[in-house]
Amino acid sequence: MKRNRRAFLKLSGLAGIGLAATPAMVSCSGAGNPEQESALGHIRKYAMQSHTQAFNMSGYAAPKMDQVRVAFIGVGNRGAAAVERLSYIEGVSIVALCDIREERTKVAEARIKRPGHKPQLYGGKAEDWRQVCERDDVDLVYICTHWELHAPIALYAMEQGKHVAVEIPAATTVEDCWKLVETSERTRRHCVILENCCYDFFELLTLNLVRQGFFGELIHGEGAYIHDIMDSFFDREKRYDLWRLKENTRRNGNLYPTHGLGPICQAMDVNRGDCMDYMVSMASNDFMIGAAAKEKLSEDPSYQPYIGDNIRGNMNTSVIRTKRGRTIMLQHDVTSPRPYSRIHLLSGTKGTAQKYPLPGRISNSHTGWLDEAEVSALEAQHTPPLVRKLGELAREIGGHGGMDFLMDWRLIDCLRNGLPVDMDVYDAASWSVVSPLSEWSVANGSQPIPIPDFTGGSWKTNQPVDISLAAGGTTQVISA
């Protein structure tokens, strides 16, 4: 088997730094675009990088703090909802709200549900976020800006001694993924990726079932982000400076992998017992974004920059293999008129679970899915303590059915009690890096590309995350 693997690596190019990128393959990305080809070259370079840990952030418990002083950067859309959610949580002090659109900070402030918060408002200047990060009275910087600013703000905030919680993806380049890891290790500040789907109720149930051995040994997982949001790409109110249209017309790959990937990685103990090894990615042509941009162009010449050669294909399918020999299939499509789906699928030696496009289903044989009574019995026995304690309240407060609130509450409870966070910087980097690596693979005829081991080998001894088994914590929820 080792000989066959070496032969495969040699043929695929993974054994050498060149990764067998022939001119014909590079032409798949739109040859003749030097800027694009240079970016792809950097992806390959940083994908091959190795790492010696300065400090292992997996399982690290920062000193506990009774009061968590939070600054929000980016409150134009989902950031404002996060302000409202955290305002319900004991031990949170909201000290700053920042957005390039000053009026959005006032809207976010109005959503605070509990007295006692007196945030300073920052808005109107592109660099206001630096002042926020430099404040002495901030413990946690909560980042909800457009993607391009996620890594720069997170890096600067950690350098200023702040923990950071950053929306998905945490970074859009392989280089920035490495910078997040190196900075978090050096400063010993948490860099938490805000992957809310890890806290959805079915995903938490299946994670607990994995821990109890219900599925046996996991073999395969599937995840996706299939969500028709194309109209919002052209909405200047929803997407400041049309930032998401820019992302989708400049980059061709799986641009938003973590919703499906995060829960699978936790179930498979990625970075804590297993590690993603390499991946391949394939994209369809674009059948919709370019046509929509051309239609807009006939009315508004400002859409000219969005007519290009590297528009993201409608459907991207990427396949990952882990070092323990498991496989993960991810899909991304945000333009086709399909019903919403994140596909959460886990397949093991003893059972299977699947959610989307239908509600969650569980099976322990090939003969079919368990009936409603059997699933209810599993839920009664294996619903995680976190959901038992806060599930109904989370649904009431909201945020994608309650999972956003569970995520926020759990983060604050970990910080207040000096507990390791559920999603550390290695998760932020490895889940996010799939996006730029998929770009490289698509551009090179779906060639395999290695996935960096951001843990520096410590995945072999890091302990699995225990979200599903968390005892519920001590932090209270305070009504308005």
Mean pLDDT of the chain: 91
Start-end of H helices in 160-229:
174-187, 201-211
- The tokens of 33 are what? 């675009």
Whether the pLDDT of residue 22 is over 80: the answer is no
Predicted TM-score (pTM) of the model is: 0.91
Instruction: Look at residue 8 and tell me if it is in a domain.
Output: no
Instruction: Look at residue 268 and tell me if it is in a domain.
Output: yes
Instruction: Look at residue 208 and tell me if it is in a domain.
Output: yes
The span from the CA of 258 to the CA of 190, in Å, is: 19
* Residue 241: DSSP 8-state: G
Any idea what the CATH number is for the domain that residue 216 is in? 3.30.360.10
Instruction: Look at residue 471 and tell me if it is in a domain.
Output: no
Q: pLDDT class for 39, splitting at 50, 70, 90?
A: low
* Candidate from 79-83, 198-202, 258-262, 462-466 with smallest mean pLDDT: 462-466
Q: How far apart are the first and last CA of the chain?
A: 62
Instruction: Look at residue 166 and tell me if it is in a domain.
Output: no
What are the b/e assignments for 127-136, b being 16+ CB within 10 Å? ebbbebbebe
Alpha-carbon torsion, ordered 223, 227, 229, 230, to 10 deg: 90
Three-state DSSP at 392 gives: helix
Residue 48: per-residue pLDDT: 86
- 320 with 191: CB under 8 angstroms? no
Tell me which residue of 436, 143, 457, 101 sits closest to 274, measured CA to CA.
457
Give 304's contacts (C-beta < 8 A, 6+ positions apart): 297
* Candidate from 75-79, 330-334, 421-425, 469-473 with smallest mean pLDDT: 469-473
Tens of pLDDT, residue by residue over 165-189, are: 999 999 999 999 999 999 999 999 9
Q: pLDDT class for 309, splitting at 50, 70, 90?
A: confident
Instruction: Look at residue 363 and tell me if it is in a domain.
Output: yes
- 276 with 270: CB under 8 angstroms? yes
* CA distances in angstroms from 362 to 26, 352, 388, listed in the order given: 43, 6, 20
Q: pLDDT class for 349, splitting at 50, 70, 90?
A: very high
Number of domains in the chain: 1
Q: 284 is in which domain, residue-wise?
A: 198-383+426-463
Instruction: Look at residue 68 and tell me if it is in a domain.
Output: no
Instruction: Look at residue 252 and tell me if it is in a domain.
Output: yes
Tell me which residue of 422, 460, 474 sits closest to 165, measured CA to CA.
422
Give 77's contacts (C-beta < 8 A, 6+ positions apart): 144, 238
The span from the CA of 465 to the CA of 49, in Å, is: 26
Whether the pLDDT of residue 259 is over 50: the answer is yes
State the pairing for strand pair 352-354/361-363.
antiparallel
Residue 45: per-residue pLDDT: 84
The span from the CA of 105 to the CA of 124, in Å, is: 10
